[in-house]
Protein backbone atom coordinates (compact mmCIF):
# COMPACT_ATOMS: atom_id res chain seq x y z
CA UNK A 1 0.00 0.00 0.00
CA UNK A 2 2.91 2.31 0.67
CA UNK A 3 4.14 1.69 -2.86
CA UNK A 4 0.73 2.63 -4.30
CA UNK A 5 0.69 5.80 -2.19
CA UNK A 6 4.09 6.80 -3.56
CA UNK A 7 2.87 6.23 -7.12
CA UNK A 8 -0.19 8.38 -6.42
CA UNK A 9 2.03 11.23 -5.23
CA UNK A 10 4.24 10.86 -8.31
CA UNK A 11 1.16 10.75 -10.55
CA UNK A 12 -0.27 13.93 -9.00
CA UNK A 13 3.11 15.68 -9.33
CA UNK A 14 3.42 14.69 -12.99
CA UNK A 15 -0.14 15.86 -13.65
CA UNK A 16 0.62 19.28 -12.14
CA UNK A 17 3.90 19.48 -14.06
CA UNK A 18 2.14 18.61 -17.33
CA UNK A 19 -0.51 21.31 -16.82
CA UNK A 20 2.22 23.84 -16.04
CA UNK A 21 4.15 22.75 -19.14
CA UNK A 22 1.00 23.08 -21.24
CA UNK A 23 0.40 26.60 -19.90
CA UNK A 24 4.02 27.56 -20.58
CA UNK A 25 3.80 26.04 -24.08
CA UNK A 26 0.63 28.03 -24.85
CA UNK A 27 2.27 31.20 -23.52
CA UNK A 28 5.45 30.64 -25.57
CA UNK A 29 3.74 29.99 -28.91
CA UNK A 30 1.68 33.19 -28.57
CA UNK A 31 4.69 35.38 -27.88
CA UNK A 32 5.49 37.70 -30.82
CA UNK A 33 8.73 36.65 -32.49
CA UNK A 34 9.56 40.26 -33.34
CA UNK A 35 8.87 43.75 -32.07
CA UNK A 36 7.90 46.74 -34.15
CA UNK A 37 9.83 49.97 -33.82
CA UNK A 38 8.46 53.23 -35.21
CA UNK A 39 10.91 56.08 -35.83
CA UNK A 40 9.72 59.56 -36.78
CA UNK A 41 11.76 60.81 -39.73
CA UNK A 42 10.14 64.18 -40.42
CA UNK A 43 7.11 66.39 -39.93
CA UNK A 44 5.38 68.16 -42.80
CA UNK A 45 2.38 70.38 -43.46
CA UNK A 46 0.09 71.40 -46.29
CA UNK A 47 -1.11 75.00 -46.20
CA UNK A 48 -3.54 76.73 -48.54
CA UNK A 49 -4.64 80.37 -48.36
CA UNK A 50 -7.46 81.73 -50.53
CA UNK A 51 -7.64 85.44 -51.32
CA UNK A 52 -10.02 87.36 -53.50
CA UNK A 53 -10.33 90.73 -55.17
CA UNK A 54 -13.80 91.91 -56.12
CA UNK A 55 -14.15 94.40 -59.00
CA UNK A 56 -17.19 96.55 -58.28
CA UNK A 57 -19.32 98.97 -60.20
CA UNK A 58 -19.36 102.53 -58.92
CA UNK A 59 -21.27 102.39 -55.62
CA UNK A 60 -22.29 104.39 -52.63
CA UNK A 61 -21.88 101.83 -49.82
CA UNK A 62 -18.11 101.29 -50.24
CA UNK A 63 -17.34 104.32 -52.36
CA UNK A 64 -14.65 102.30 -54.13
CA UNK A 65 -14.52 99.85 -56.98
CA UNK A 66 -12.06 97.29 -55.54
CA UNK A 67 -12.79 95.14 -52.50
CA UNK A 68 -10.14 92.78 -51.12
CA UNK A 69 -10.35 89.79 -48.76
CA UNK A 70 -12.04 90.65 -45.47
CA UNK A 71 -12.87 94.25 -46.38
CA UNK A 72 -16.61 93.72 -46.45
CA UNK A 73 -19.46 91.68 -47.89
CA UNK A 74 -19.49 91.14 -51.62
CA UNK A 75 -22.87 92.42 -52.78
CA UNK A 76 -23.83 90.91 -56.11
CA UNK A 77 -25.82 94.00 -57.11
CA UNK A 78 -22.59 95.99 -57.61
CA UNK A 79 -20.24 93.10 -58.53
CA UNK A 80 -18.62 92.98 -61.97
CA UNK A 81 -16.28 90.00 -61.41
CA UNK A 82 -14.40 88.27 -58.64
CA UNK A 83 -10.76 87.20 -58.92
CA UNK A 84 -9.98 84.29 -56.60
CA UNK A 85 -6.51 82.88 -55.94
CA UNK A 86 -5.27 80.03 -53.81
CA UNK A 87 -1.63 79.89 -52.72
CA UNK A 88 -0.34 76.50 -51.68
CA UNK A 89 2.76 75.78 -49.60
CA UNK A 90 4.36 72.50 -48.61
CA UNK A 91 6.65 72.68 -45.58
CA UNK A 92 8.77 69.99 -43.95
CA UNK A 93 11.11 69.77 -40.98
CA UNK A 94 13.90 68.51 -43.29
CA UNK A 95 14.69 69.69 -46.80
CA UNK A 96 12.80 67.57 -49.36
CA UNK A 97 14.41 66.09 -52.44
CA UNK A 98 12.78 65.02 -55.70
CA UNK A 99 9.78 67.15 -54.77
CA UNK A 100 6.87 66.76 -57.16
CA UNK A 101 3.56 68.65 -56.77
CA UNK A 102 0.68 67.98 -59.14
CA UNK A 103 -2.80 69.45 -59.06
CA UNK A 104 -6.19 69.16 -60.64
CA UNK A 105 -9.35 71.04 -59.72
CA UNK A 106 -12.91 69.76 -59.85
CA UNK A 107 -15.71 72.31 -60.17
CA UNK A 108 -19.34 71.72 -59.23
CA UNK A 109 -22.37 74.00 -59.56
CA UNK A 110 -25.43 73.37 -57.40
CA UNK A 111 -28.59 74.77 -55.93
CA UNK A 112 -30.74 73.26 -53.23
CA UNK A 113 -32.48 71.18 -55.93
CA UNK A 114 -29.89 70.29 -58.60
CA UNK A 115 -26.19 69.58 -59.16
CA UNK A 116 -23.98 70.11 -62.20
CA UNK A 117 -20.36 68.97 -62.70
CA UNK A 118 -18.18 71.04 -65.04
CA UNK A 119 -15.54 69.35 -67.14
CA UNK A 120 -12.09 70.90 -67.49
CA UNK A 121 -12.89 72.68 -70.73
CA UNK A 122 -16.10 74.20 -69.37
CA UNK A 123 -14.40 75.31 -66.18
CA UNK A 124 -11.48 76.85 -68.07
CA UNK A 125 -13.80 78.74 -70.40
CA UNK A 126 -16.19 79.94 -67.69
CA UNK A 127 -13.67 80.83 -64.99
CA UNK A 128 -10.36 81.35 -66.85
CA UNK A 129 -8.72 78.94 -64.44
CA UNK A 130 -4.97 78.67 -63.87
CA UNK A 131 -2.83 76.36 -61.69
CA UNK A 132 0.43 78.19 -61.09
CA UNK A 133 1.59 77.42 -57.49
CA UNK A 134 -2.01 76.95 -56.46
CA UNK A 135 -5.14 78.18 -58.17
CA UNK A 136 -6.49 81.29 -59.87
CA UNK A 137 -9.89 81.91 -61.36
CA UNK A 138 -12.19 84.76 -62.34
CA UNK A 139 -15.89 84.65 -61.65
CA UNK A 140 -17.86 86.94 -63.94
CA UNK A 141 -21.07 87.67 -62.11
CA UNK A 142 -23.17 88.26 -65.22
CA UNK A 143 -21.95 85.11 -66.98
CA UNK A 144 -22.34 82.78 -64.01
CA UNK A 145 -25.80 84.07 -63.11
CA UNK A 146 -26.90 83.66 -66.73
CA UNK A 147 -25.81 80.00 -66.58
CA UNK A 148 -27.45 79.39 -63.20
CA UNK A 149 -30.76 80.94 -64.25
CA UNK A 150 -30.69 78.93 -67.48
CA UNK A 151 -30.42 75.70 -65.48
CA UNK A 152 -33.24 76.87 -63.21
CA UNK A 153 -35.39 77.50 -66.26
CA UNK A 154 -34.63 74.04 -67.67
CA UNK A 155 -35.46 72.30 -64.42
CA UNK A 156 -38.36 74.55 -63.45
CA UNK A 157 -36.85 74.82 -59.99
CA UNK A 158 -35.80 78.18 -58.62
CA UNK A 159 -33.60 78.77 -55.58
CA UNK A 160 -32.34 81.63 -53.46
CA UNK A 161 -28.94 80.03 -53.01
CA UNK A 162 -26.34 78.75 -55.49
CA UNK A 163 -22.94 77.25 -54.79
CA UNK A 164 -19.72 77.00 -56.75
CA UNK A 165 -17.80 74.18 -55.12
CA UNK A 166 -14.07 74.09 -55.87
CA UNK A 167 -12.18 70.89 -55.07
CA UNK A 168 -8.45 71.26 -55.70
CA UNK A 169 -6.68 67.90 -55.46
CA UNK A 170 -3.00 68.44 -54.72
CA UNK A 171 -0.68 65.44 -54.74
CA UNK A 172 2.79 65.70 -53.25
CA UNK A 173 5.64 63.26 -53.76
CA UNK A 174 9.06 63.70 -52.15
CA UNK A 175 11.94 62.05 -50.32
CA UNK A 176 12.52 63.54 -46.87
CA UNK A 177 15.25 62.46 -44.45
CA UNK A 178 15.35 58.90 -45.79
CA UNK A 179 11.57 58.53 -45.93
CA UNK A 180 9.07 58.81 -48.76
CA UNK A 181 5.90 60.85 -48.93
CA UNK A 182 3.03 60.36 -51.35
CA UNK A 183 0.22 62.43 -49.93
CA UNK A 184 -2.91 64.17 -51.19
CA UNK A 185 -4.26 67.46 -49.89
CA UNK A 186 -7.78 68.65 -50.79
CA UNK A 187 -8.46 72.25 -49.68
CA UNK A 188 -12.11 72.39 -50.74
CA UNK A 189 -13.90 75.73 -50.80
CA UNK A 190 -17.51 76.84 -51.33
CA UNK A 191 -18.50 80.11 -53.02
CA UNK A 192 -22.15 80.72 -52.18
CA UNK A 193 -24.45 83.18 -54.00
CA UNK A 194 -27.20 84.24 -51.61
CA UNK A 195 -30.30 86.02 -52.90
CA UNK A 196 -33.47 87.28 -51.27
CA UNK A 197 -32.19 87.02 -47.69
CA UNK A 198 -32.43 89.51 -44.85
CA UNK A 199 -28.73 90.24 -45.37
CA UNK A 200 -29.33 91.09 -49.02
CA UNK A 201 -27.89 89.60 -52.18
CA UNK A 202 -24.26 88.73 -51.52
CA UNK A 203 -21.49 86.17 -51.95
CA UNK A 204 -20.05 84.28 -49.00
CA UNK A 205 -16.81 82.28 -49.21
CA UNK A 206 -15.98 79.64 -46.61
CA UNK A 207 -12.72 77.98 -45.50
CA UNK A 208 -10.31 80.58 -46.81
CA UNK A 209 -7.36 79.09 -44.93
CA UNK A 210 -6.74 75.36 -44.53
CA UNK A 211 -3.81 73.48 -42.99
CA UNK A 212 -3.09 69.81 -42.47
CA UNK A 213 -0.11 68.29 -40.68
CA UNK A 214 1.52 64.94 -41.26
CA UNK A 215 4.41 62.78 -40.12
CA UNK A 216 6.78 60.53 -42.02
CA UNK A 217 7.72 57.44 -40.05
CA UNK A 218 9.86 54.39 -40.60
CA UNK A 219 8.58 51.11 -39.18
CA UNK A 220 11.14 48.37 -38.60
CA UNK A 221 10.82 44.85 -37.24
CA UNK A 222 13.41 43.51 -34.82
CA UNK A 223 13.59 39.73 -34.36
CA UNK A 224 13.55 38.37 -30.80
CA UNK A 225 15.74 35.22 -30.75
CA UNK A 226 15.00 34.53 -27.09
CA UNK A 227 11.36 33.87 -28.05
CA UNK A 228 12.40 30.99 -30.34
CA UNK A 229 14.62 29.61 -27.56
CA UNK A 230 11.71 29.78 -25.13
CA UNK A 231 9.44 27.98 -27.59
CA UNK A 232 11.95 25.16 -28.10
CA UNK A 233 12.34 24.81 -24.33
CA UNK A 234 8.54 24.69 -23.94
CA UNK A 235 8.31 21.95 -26.61
CA UNK A 236 10.93 19.87 -24.79
CA UNK A 237 9.36 20.43 -21.36
CA UNK A 238 5.88 19.53 -22.60
CA UNK A 239 7.17 16.40 -24.34
CA UNK A 240 9.06 15.22 -21.26
CA UNK A 241 6.23 15.97 -18.84
CA UNK A 242 3.63 14.29 -21.08
CA UNK A 243 5.86 11.23 -21.49
CA UNK A 244 6.44 11.11 -17.74
CA UNK A 245 2.72 11.44 -17.04
CA UNK A 246 1.77 8.63 -19.42
CA UNK A 247 4.50 6.40 -18.01
CA UNK A 248 3.37 7.11 -14.45
CA UNK A 249 -0.27 6.39 -15.36
CA UNK A 250 0.78 3.07 -16.88
CA UNK A 251 2.90 2.05 -13.88
CA UNK A 252 0.25 3.19 -11.40
CA UNK A 253 -2.49 1.29 -13.24
CA UNK A 254 -0.34 -1.82 -13.38
CA UNK A 255 0.63 -1.68 -9.71
CA UNK A 256 -2.88 -0.77 -8.62
CA UNK A 257 -4.21 -3.86 -10.41
CA UNK A 258 -1.83 -6.09 -8.46
CA UNK A 259 -3.97 -6.66 -5.43
CA UNK A 260 -2.19 -9.26 -3.32
CA UNK A 261 -3.82 -12.65 -3.48
CA UNK A 262 -3.65 -12.89 0.28
CA UNK A 263 -5.88 -9.83 0.52
CA UNK A 264 -8.42 -11.56 -1.66
CA UNK A 265 -8.21 -14.77 0.39
CA UNK A 266 -8.67 -12.83 3.62
CA UNK A 267 -11.73 -11.10 2.22
CA UNK A 268 -13.27 -14.44 1.21
CA UNK A 269 -12.58 -15.98 4.61
CA UNK A 270 -13.98 -12.93 6.37
CA UNK A 271 -17.07 -12.77 4.18
CA UNK A 272 -17.93 -16.44 4.58
CA UNK A 273 -16.42 -17.05 8.03
CA UNK A 274 -19.38 -19.17 9.10
CA UNK A 275 -18.83 -21.59 6.21
CA UNK A 276 -15.04 -21.69 5.81
CA UNK A 277 -12.62 -23.56 7.99
CA UNK A 278 -8.84 -23.59 7.68
CA UNK A 279 -6.87 -26.81 7.16
CA UNK A 280 -3.17 -27.50 6.88
CA UNK A 281 -3.49 -31.18 5.86
CA UNK A 282 -3.26 -32.41 2.32
CA UNK A 283 -6.48 -32.49 0.35
CA UNK A 284 -7.81 -36.04 0.35
CA UNK A 285 -8.38 -37.65 -3.04
CA UNK A 286 -11.94 -38.40 -4.22
CA UNK A 287 -13.43 -40.22 -7.16
CA UNK A 288 -15.22 -37.14 -8.54
CA UNK A 289 -13.91 -33.58 -8.73
CA UNK A 290 -16.11 -30.59 -9.65
CA UNK A 291 -14.34 -27.28 -10.28
CA UNK A 292 -16.06 -23.91 -9.84
CA UNK A 293 -14.87 -20.69 -11.46
CA UNK A 294 -16.15 -18.50 -8.63
CA UNK A 295 -16.24 -18.71 -4.88
CA UNK A 296 -19.89 -17.71 -4.97
CA UNK A 297 -20.85 -20.92 -6.81
CA UNK A 298 -18.91 -22.96 -4.23
CA UNK A 299 -20.69 -21.14 -1.39
CA UNK A 300 -24.12 -21.88 -2.91
CA UNK A 301 -23.19 -25.55 -3.18
CA UNK A 302 -22.05 -25.63 0.46
CA UNK A 303 -25.36 -24.14 1.57
CA UNK A 304 -27.36 -26.65 -0.47
CA UNK A 305 -25.57 -29.78 0.72
CA UNK A 306 -24.95 -28.31 4.21
CA UNK A 307 -21.22 -28.95 4.15
CA UNK A 308 -18.39 -26.69 5.31
CA UNK A 309 -15.87 -25.14 2.91
CA UNK A 310 -12.29 -26.03 3.71
CA UNK A 311 -9.47 -23.64 2.84
CA UNK A 312 -6.08 -25.19 2.20
CA UNK A 313 -2.86 -23.88 0.71
CA UNK A 314 -0.74 -26.32 -1.23
CA UNK A 315 2.37 -25.48 -3.23
CA UNK A 316 1.56 -21.75 -3.12
CA UNK A 317 -1.96 -22.29 -4.40
CA UNK A 318 -5.06 -21.40 -2.40
CA UNK A 319 -7.82 -23.98 -2.72
CA UNK A 320 -11.33 -23.88 -1.31
CA UNK A 321 -13.12 -27.22 -1.41
CA UNK A 322 -16.05 -29.25 -0.08
CA UNK A 323 -15.99 -33.02 0.51
CA UNK A 324 -19.32 -34.77 -0.02
CA UNK A 325 -18.84 -38.56 0.11
CA UNK A 326 -16.74 -39.37 -2.98
CA UNK A 327 -17.24 -35.96 -4.62
CA UNK A 328 -15.01 -32.98 -4.12
CA UNK A 329 -16.13 -29.44 -5.10
CA UNK A 330 -13.21 -27.03 -5.64
CA UNK A 331 -12.42 -23.39 -6.35
CA UNK A 332 -8.75 -22.67 -7.12
CA UNK A 333 -7.11 -19.26 -7.13
CA UNK A 334 -4.16 -20.59 -9.16
CA UNK A 335 -2.02 -17.52 -8.54
CA UNK A 336 -4.52 -15.16 -10.23
CA UNK A 337 -4.58 -11.52 -9.23
CA UNK A 338 -8.17 -11.34 -8.10
CA UNK A 339 -10.10 -8.16 -7.37
CA UNK A 340 -12.87 -7.97 -4.90
Ordered by start, the domain boundaries in the chain are 2-33+224-257, 39-222, 262-332
> Of 129-138, 143-152, 159-168, 250-259, which range is least confident?
250-259
pLDDT(337) > 50: no
What is the spatial distance between Cα 167 and Cα 236, in angstroms, rounded to a whole number? 64
Q: What is the pLDDT of residues 46-55, one digit of tens each?
A: 999 999 999 9
**Model confidence band, residue 258 (pLDDT cutoffs 50, 70, 90):** low
What is the model's pLDDT at position 325?
87
**Model confidence band, residue 335 (pLDDT cutoffs 50, 70, 90):** low
What is the model's pLDDT at position 338?
43
pLDDT(123) > 60: yes
pLDDT(57) > 80: yes
The kind and range of the H/E element at 330 are: strand 327-332
Q: What is the pLDDT of residues 181-199, one digit of tens each?
A: 999 999 999 999 998 778 8
pLDDT(4) > 80: no
> Of 98-107, 111-120, 228-237, 276-285, which range is least confident?
276-285
pLDDT(271) > 50: yes
What is the model's pLDDT at position 48?
95
Q: Is pLDDT larger for residue 117 or for residue 339?
A: 117
Percent of the chain at pLDDT exceeding 70: 94
Q: What is the mean pLDDT of the chain?
A: 88
Percent of the chain at pLDDT exceeding 90: 43
What is the model's pLDDT at position 93?
94
What is the Rg, in whole angstroms, of the alpha carbon atoms belonging to the chain? 52
Contact 20, 12 (CB under 8 A): no
Contact 133, 88 (CB under 8 A): yes
What is the model's pLDDT at position 171?
95
What residues have CB less than 8 Å from 279, skipping those under 6 apart?
310, 311, 312
What is the model's pLDDT at position 97?
92
pLDDT(9) > 90: no
What is the model's pLDDT at position 195?
85
What is the spatial distance between Cα 214 and Cα 122, in angstroms, rounded to a whole number? 34
DSSP string of 18-73?
Answer: HHHHHHHHHHHHTS-SEEEEEEEEEEEEEEEEEEEEEEE-S-SSSSSSEEETTSS-
Average pLDDT over residues 152-170: 91
What is the spatial distance between Cα 63 and Cα 48, in angstroms, rounded to a whole number? 31
What is the model's pLDDT at position 8?
80
Report how far apart, in Å, the C-alpha atoms of 322 and of each of 42, 328, 330 are: 105, 6, 7
Give which of 106, 148, 144 is closest to 126, Cα–Cα: 144
What is the spatial distance between Cα 188 and Cα 105, in angstroms, rounded to a whole number? 9
End-to-end Cα distance, the chain:
16
**Model confidence band, residue 339 (pLDDT cutoffs 50, 70, 90):** very low
The highest-confidence range among 80-84, 121-125, 127-131, 304-308, by mean pLDDT, is: 80-84
Amino acid sequence: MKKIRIYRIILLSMLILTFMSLYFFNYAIHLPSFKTSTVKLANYSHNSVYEYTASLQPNIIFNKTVLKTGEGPIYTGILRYLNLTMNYNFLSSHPPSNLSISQETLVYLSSKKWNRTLDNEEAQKLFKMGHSSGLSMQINHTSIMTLLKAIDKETGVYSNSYTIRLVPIIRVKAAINGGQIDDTFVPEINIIFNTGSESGNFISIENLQQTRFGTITNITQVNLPWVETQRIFSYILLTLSTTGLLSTIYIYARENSKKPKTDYVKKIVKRYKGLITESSVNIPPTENNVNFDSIEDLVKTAEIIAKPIIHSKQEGEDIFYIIDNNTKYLHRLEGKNKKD
